[in-house]
Structures are given as C-alpha cells and as structure tokens.
Structure 1
Amino acid sequence: MKVALHTRLRPSTVDDYERAHGQVPAELMAAIRRAGATEWSIWRNGLDLFHVIDCEDYQRLLADLRDVPVNIEWQARMDGLLDVAHDYSSDGSAAVLPLVWHLGGSE
C-alpha cells in the first residue's frame, strides 16, 4: 500500500532538516524496514514536506515503530524542526493525504 503524508517545517529549520536526513541512522532505517516499509520518499516545497511510504500495513508500521528507542530519539529531533509533525501517538490518520487521482501503469 502507498501512504501519502504532509508535514511542515518550522521557519528557518530547512537546512537542519535536510542535514538530518543526510545522516539518518542505519538502525532507524533497519527498524523502518522491519516494520514493513519498502520505500519512503520525502519531497519539499518551501516549508511543506510530502512523504510517500510504500508499506505492507501502515497501522502496523506505526505500532511497530512507536516504542523503538532510535525512532523515539529521531521523532524528538524532528519535533524541534517541524510545525506539523507526523503523529506516532495517534492512529496516524491526522496527516494522511487521501488519494484523489492515480494514473496506473500498464503492466
């Protein structure tokens, strides 16, 4: 399944956010993969961030990552950079973008 999310940076944190994502801990990436994500991409337009996650089960992904120490540390770091953050404490639906249209491939 694909999940699209929207988050937003705090003003003046763009460089810190991009620098952080240049050094995502290998342990965090491994935890995300173990939780079922096969891909996670983030695009930025000004302060707006758009995430697309390919995963087996989004709710399971959130549940599996919620109590992982390296994820907790990462989320605390991101909390200082984001005005609108991805919320691991809820059901994860607050920032999920609904699909409006999709042009599929001809496979």
Structure 2
Amino acid sequence: MRVALHTRLKEGTEEAYEQAHREVPTELVEAIRAAGAKDWTIWRSGLDLFHVIDCDDYGDLLFALEKLPVNVTWQARMAGYLDVVHDYSSEGAAAGLPVVWQLP
C-alpha cells in the first residue's frame, strides 16, 4: 500500500531539517523496514513536506514505531522543526492524503 502525507516545517528550520535527514540513525532505518516499509520518500516545497510511504500496512507500521525508543527520540527531534508533525497514534493511520487521480 502507498500512503501520502503532508507535514510542515517551522520557518527557518529548512536546513536543519535536511541536515537531520542526512543523519537518520541506522537503527531507525532498520526499524522502519522491519515494521513493513518498503520505501519512504520525502519531498520539500518551501515549508511543505510531502511523504510517500510504500508499506505492507500503514496502521501496523505506525503501531510498530509509535513507542519504539529510537523513533520516540527521532520524533522529539523532528518536533523541533515541524509545525505539522507526523501522527504516530492510532488515529494517524487515517491521516493520509486522499487520492485524486492515478495514471491508469
């Protein structure tokens, strides 16, 4: 399944956010894969961030990562950069952007 998400940076944090993503902990990357993610790409346009996640089941992915210490630490770091954060709660599974059109 593919899920698209929108988050938003706080003004002035663009470079720090991008630098942080050049240093994603290996343990976190391994945990994301173990939780069922096949791919996770983030694009930035100004302060807007667009994520596309290809995973087995997005709800299961969130459940596996929500309380995992390496992810909790990472999300606390990201919260310093973000006005709109990625929701890892059970309600977050419904936070994906709706599909408007897909190439047939």
The CA distance in 2 between the partners of 1:89 and 1:38, in whole Å, is 21
Could you tell me which residue of structure 2 aligns to residue 66 of structure 1? 66
Which 10-residue stretch deviates more, 91-100 or 3-12?
A: 91-100
The CA distance in 1 between the partners of 2:74 and 2:94, in whole Å, is 20
The CA distance in 1 between the partners of 2:95 and 2:19, in whole Å, is 23
Q: CA RMSD in A?
A: 1.1
Which 10-residue stretch deviates more, 93-102 or 23-32?
A: 93-102
TM-score (structure 1 length as normaliser): 0.93
TM-score (structure 2 length as normaliser): 0.96
* Letter matched to residue 73 of structure 1: T
The CA distance in 1 between the partners of 2:20 and 2:95, in whole Å, is 21
The DSSP-based 3-state class of the residue aligned with 1:103 is: coil
Could you tell me which residue of structure 1 aligns to residue 20 of structure 2? 20
Could you tell me which residue of structure 2 aligns to residue 87 of structure 1? 87
* Letter matched to residue 77 of structure 2: R
Which 10-residue stretch deviates more, 77-86 or 93-102?
A: 93-102
Identity of aligned residues (%): 64
Could you tell me which residue of structure 1 aligns to residue 51 of structure 2? 51
Could you tell me which residue of structure 1 aligns to residue 101 of structure 2? 101
The CA distance in 1 between the partners of 2:94 and 2:80, in whole Å, is 19
Number of residues of Structure 1 aligned to a counterpart in Structure 2: 104
* Letter matched to residue 16 of structure 1: A
The CA distance in 2 between the partners of 1:93 and 1:60, in whole Å, is 9
The CA distance in 2 between the partners of 1:93 and 1:59, in whole Å, is 5
Cα distance, 1:94 vs structure 2 = 5.8
The CA distance in 2 between the partners of 1:90 and 1:35, in whole Å, is 15
Gaps of 5+ in 1: none
